Amino acid sequence: MFTAMSLPLVRDVMSQAAQAKPVVDTGDTAWILASAALVMIMTPALGFFYGGMVRKKNALSTINWSFIIVALISVQWVLWGYSLAFGPDKWHLIGNLSWFGLNGVGQEPNPDYAATIPHMAFMIFQGMFAVITPALITGAFAERMKFSTFLVFILIWATIVYDPIAHWVWGVGGWLRNLGALDFAGGTVVHIASGVAALAAALVMGRRQGYGKEPMEPHNITMVVLGAGLLWFGWFGFNAGSALASGGLATSAFVVTNTAAGAAALTWMLMSWLFTGKSSILGIASGAVVGLVAITPASGYVTPLASIAIGIGAGVFCFLAVRMRSRSKLDDSLDVWGCHGVGGTWGALATGLFASKAVNPAGADGLFYGNPIQLWYQFVAVAVVWAFSFSVTWIILKVLDATMGLRVKDHEEELGLDLSQHGEAAYRI
C-alpha cells in the first residue's frame, strides 16, 4: 500500500532516473557546432587548394566542384546518408533507414554516440565529414570530367561507398568498430576511402590531352597556399572536434594535429631541397596537408612526440609516392592518391604503433606500448577499405561511362571546363 512513508523512496528513484538521463552540456555543444563550422570551411578551402593547382582555364570549375558538393551532400546526408552511416545496425554492415529525413534525430542526446550534445549536433558534425570526403576525390579527374556525370558520381559514391565505410568504422554495431580498429577522426573513413577512389578514377578516366607533352603547371600557387592555410585552420575542428566534448582530449588532439602538420611541412621542404635543390612552396603547402591527413586517425590516441614521428613519416612517404606517380603514366591530376591514400594509410598503421591508453583510456595501446594485435586490426581496416573503395569506385565509373559518358569532348577540354561546362571564366583580364 502506497503511503507517505514511500515518498522518499519514490523521490530517490526519480532522482536517480533523472541523473541517468543524458543531459546536454552547453559548452560541449558550442564546441561541436563550432567544430562543424570549421570542418565545413575546409571544403571550399579544398576548392582553393585544388583550384590553384590546375590551369587557369579550369580554375573556376575546379573550385565549383568542392562548393557544389557542400550543397549536394548536405541534402543527401539529411535524407538518407546519416541513417545509412549511423542508424540502427543491419548485419554489422550498414545502418537502416529508420532515421530517414532525420526522423528521431532531434535535440536530445543519443548516448550511443555523444551523451552531452544534441543528437542533431552530432549529425551535422559528421555531415561535414561526409561532405569533404568525396570532394577530395575530385583532384584525380580535374580538368576533364563532365559536370553532369560528376554530380551523379558524387551522389552514388557517397551513398554506396562512404556511408557503409563510415558505419563499419564508427557506427554502433559496425564490424570494424567491433573488431577494434581505431580511427579517431577519419584517416580510414575519409582519407583512405577518397585517396584510393582517386586512384581508381585516374585509371578509368585516362590522361588529360597533352599530358606529358605540354606544361600543366599550377596557375596560382598563392591560391594553393591560401587553401592549405584554411585547411590547416579547419582541421582543428576535424580532429579536436572528434573528441565530441570540450576538454582534455580535444586539447590533446588539437596539439598533435598542429605538431604533425608542422613536422610534415618541414620534412617535405627538406625532401624537395634534397631531390631538386629547391624548397618548393607548393611542396611546403602539400607537406602540411599530408601531415594533417596522417595524424587524423591517430589524433585522439597519441602523444605530441609521436605526432612528430607521424608527421615526418607522412612527409617522406607522400613525397616519394607523388614523385613516383609523376614519373609514371598515371594522371592523378592533383596527386590525391599520393597525398590522401598514402598519407591515410600511413596514419592508420601508425595509430597501431603509437596509440596509448595514457592519452585516451577509451582507445587502445599500440605495438610500441605492448599491444601488437592493434597493428593487425589497423592493417585489416586499411586492407578492407582499400579493396572496397577501389573496386566499387571502378564499377561506378565504368557504369557511368557506358551510360552518361565521363569525359568532356576533346574540344571542350581544350577550351577549358570553365567556359565549356559553365560559360564563365575565373579571370577576365
Q: How far apart are CA 272 and CA 282, in angstroms?
A: 10
- Given a cut of 50, whether residue 156 has pLDDT beyond it is yes
Is residue 52 within 8 Å of 220, Cβ to Cβ? Answer: yes
What per-residue confidence (pLDDT) applies to 5?
43
Q: How far apart are CA 79 and CA 60, in angstroms?
A: 29
Q: Is residue 9 in a domain?
A: no
What per-residue confidence (pLDDT) applies to 321?
96
Q: Is residue 14 in a domain?
A: no
pLDDT-derived band at 384, boundaries 50, 70, 90: very high
Q: Is residue 174 in a domain?
A: yes
Amino acid occupying residue 35: S
- Given a cut of 60, whether residue 2 has pLDDT beyond it is no
- Given a cut of 50, whether residue 182 has pLDDT beyond it is yes
What per-residue confidence (pLDDT) applies to 20?
59
Q: Is residue 1 in a domain?
A: no
Q: Is residue 136 in a domain?
A: yes
Q: Is residue 169 in a domain?
A: yes
Residues comprising the chain, all counted: 429
- Given a cut of 70, whether residue 49 has pLDDT beyond it is yes
- Given a cut of 60, whether residue 3 has pLDDT beyond it is no
- What is the residue range of 262's domain? 24-416
Q: What is the pLDDT of residues 11-43, one digit of tens each?
A: 454 444 445 578 999 999 999 999 999 999 999
Helix 163-170 vs helix 119-137: angle between axes, to the nearest 10 degrees? Answer: 130
Q: What is the pLDDT of residues 271-308, one digit of tens each?
A: 999 999 999 999 999 999 999 999 999 999 999 999 99
Which three cell numbers, joined as nine digits, stand for 201?
578514377
For 242-265, what is the mean pLDDT?
97
Residue closest to 86 by CA, chosen among 7, 165, 182? 165
What per-residue confidence (pLDDT) applies to 18?
45
Give first-to-last CA distance, the chain, whole Å: 89
For 61-82, what is the mean pLDDT?
97
What per-residue confidence (pLDDT) applies to 213?
86
Q: Is residue 428 in a domain?
A: no
| Overall number of domains in the chain | 1
For 72-80, what is the mean pLDDT?
98
What is the separation of C-alpha 391 from the centre of its chain, rounded to a whole number of angstroms?
A: 19
Averaged pLDDT score across all residues of the chain: 93
Q: Is residue 423 in a domain?
A: no
Q: Is pTM beyond 0.75 here? A: yes
Q: What is the pLDDT of residues 389-399, one digit of tens each?
A: 999 999 999 99
The CATH number given to whatever domain includes residue 213 is 1.10.3430.10
Is residue 120 within 8 Å of 102, Cβ to Cβ? Answer: yes
